[in-house]
Amino acid sequence: MRFYFALLVLLVTLPFPTLNAQCVPSVNSVQYERFSSVTEVKTLENKPSALLAGIELVLEEKSDRVSATLRDYEGTPTPLTARLEGQLRASDDGRCNIKLSGHNERGRVEIEGVIGVAAFRGTIIRKIGKNIFSHSVSLRRQSSEMNHAIGSVDRRESPPKFRFTSSCWDRPPG
């Protein structure tokens, strides 16, 4: 019994690189990830509203290249959007580092951070005119809207029926 307990303790304390998600997608695949801190703004009467506040980062990863959309909700239903491009790198310690840059209507936007299993943690740097604004963010992983679109199947339509003929598979008429 002590042997199994010691083995369990050893297994729990050893790092398992296979438990980490694959940082850089393989060459012919695309991976989508979404991270968000967006919340609904409550009115003074504590009633729901259509106003949102927070940040959302949507990533499209193709090998080590990343296209991203950063949405800033500033207490309005419509976000300030920035399109970003950058790189994804796996570090020696197993962390997934990302570096993005692009523009929105106010100026240049840069993001550096680490993608974890449950969250993105990093720094957003905004250059507006001659001013530079930098702040740290922690965004929770969300299920990607693209994953839902890819994984959804319209169950209302019945599968096509095929019949075998001597020459090929044919769809029945009608």
Domains and CATH numbers, the chain: 20-145 (2.40.128)
Q: Specify whether the CB–CB gap between 123 and 138 falls below 8 A.
A: no
pLDDT at 22: 64
For the chain, the three-class secondary structure string (H helix, E strand, C coil) is CHHHHHHHHHHHHCCCHHHCCCCCCCCCCEEEEEEECCEECCCCCCCCCCCEEEEEEEEEEECCEEEEEEEEEEEECCCEEEEEEEEEEECCCCCEEEEEEEEECCEEEEEEEEECCCEEEEEEEEEECCEEEEEEEEEEEECCHHHHHHHCCCCCCCCCCCEECCCCEECCCC
Task: Look at 24 and 11; give whichever has higher pLDDT.
Answer: 24
| Residues 22-31, mean pLDDT to the nearest whole number | 80
Q: What is the mean pLDDT of the chain?
A: 77
Paired tokens of 132: 């530079």
- Say which range, 5-9, 36-40, 46-50, 84-88, has the weakest mean pLDDT: 5-9
Counted residue by residue, the chain has a size of: 174
Strand partners for 139: 120
pLDDT at 167: 38
Paired tokens of 1: 């019994």
pLDDT at 98: 96
Kindly list the distances between the CA atom of residue 166 and the CA atoms of 58, 93, 130, 172, 173, in Å, as whole numbers in the listed order. 50, 59, 75, 14, 17
pLDDT at 1: 60
Give CA–CA dist 81/104, Å, rounded: 6
